[in-house]
């Protein structure tokens, strides 16, 4: 289904409700530059880190596309768990898992800040941290680090900002051109920007890396970046 969520005047802040869930896959493909490529990199490193008996958590798993793709490529017996607090997203995810035969994907309605994690090999977070208030974001990353095995990995993608004002403005303009090329109107772009105001709070590339290291990861770097979108890998 095509994303037309912001083709009409907004009445509330952005949330992952039924309307968004129904068009979320289209929204991602048209709103996130090189989304498929960043997901391919995420899958590669996740699969490299999973062995028999391994465990992977996807935080904010939305419609479970990543988990389904990983499940198809697994060559070992590992557990894949998707956590999301949007029942509308989980309903879409369950339907996809059934349709695509991803029986080894477990989905739970959960608060990722409060969830009791088991020791894991991999954590994944795709454009999820940016929706968590900065005051508690670092606490979550600490929790992730403490729940990972040694050499475990945390792969996360985020929208990023630049602290150089002109460059940051140009990066945003570059991104909006991308959205226009994908069929979004100026009105839709401005409506979504307003809906996300104070809901999505991005960090810079440097701030994300510093946060990971402060929270217990010995190494963190960017493995993919396009303008103001980046995929990081942090190693415990």
**The predicted structure's pLDDT at residue 18:** 62
In a domain, 5, yes or no: no
Segment 205-216 shows an average pLDDT of 98
In a domain, 87, yes or no: yes
Which CATH number fits the domain that encloses residue 74?
Answer: 3.40.50.150
* Structural domains in the chain (count): 1
Helix (H, G, I), strand (E, B) or coil at 222: strand
Domain that holds residue 231: 18-235
In a domain, 225, yes or no: yes
In a domain, 10, yes or no: no
In a domain, 149, yes or no: yes
C-alpha 184/C-alpha 189 separation (Å) is: 7
Segment 191-204 shows an average pLDDT of 81
Question: What would the pLDDT profile of 103-124 be if each residue is shown by its tens digit?
Answer: 889 999 999 999 999 999 999 9
Question: What would the pLDDT profile of 20-60 be if each residue is shown by its tens digit?
Answer: 555 666 777 788 999 999 999 999 999 999 999 999 999 99
pLDDT at 223 over 90: yes
Q: Which residues contact 130 (CB under 8 A, 6 or more apart)?
A: 158, 159, 200, 201, 202, 203
In a domain, 6, yes or no: no
């Amino acid at each position: 289904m095509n994303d037309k969520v912001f083709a009409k005047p907004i009445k509330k802040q952005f949330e992952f409700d039924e309307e968004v869930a129904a068009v979320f896959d289209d929204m991602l493909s048209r709103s996130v530059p090189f989304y498929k490529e960043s997901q391919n990199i995420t899958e590669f490193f996740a699969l490299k880190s999973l062995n028999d008996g391994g465990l992977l958590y996807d935080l904010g798993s939305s419609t479970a596309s990543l988990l389904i793709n990983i499940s198809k490529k697994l060559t070992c017996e590992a557990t894949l768990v998707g956590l999301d607090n949007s029942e509308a997203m989980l309903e879409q995810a369950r339907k996809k898992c059934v349709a695509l035969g991803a029986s080894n994907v477990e989905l739970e309605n959960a608060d990722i800040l409060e969830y009791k994690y088991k020791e894991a090999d991999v954590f994944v977070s795709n454009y999820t941290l940016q929706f968590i208030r900065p005051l508690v974001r670092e606490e979550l990353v600490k929790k992730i680090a403490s729940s990972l095995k040694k050499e475990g990995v945390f792969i996360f993608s985020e929208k990023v900002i630049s602290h150089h004002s002109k460059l940051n403005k140009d990066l945003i303009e570059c991104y909006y051109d991308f959205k226009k090329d994908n069929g979004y109107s100026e009105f839709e772009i401005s409506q979504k920007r307003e809906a996300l105001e104070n809901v999505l709070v991005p960090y810079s590339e440097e701030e994300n890396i510093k946060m990971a290291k402060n929270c217990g990861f010995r190494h963190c770097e960017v493995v993919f970046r396009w303008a103001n979108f980046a995929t990081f890998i942090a190693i415990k």
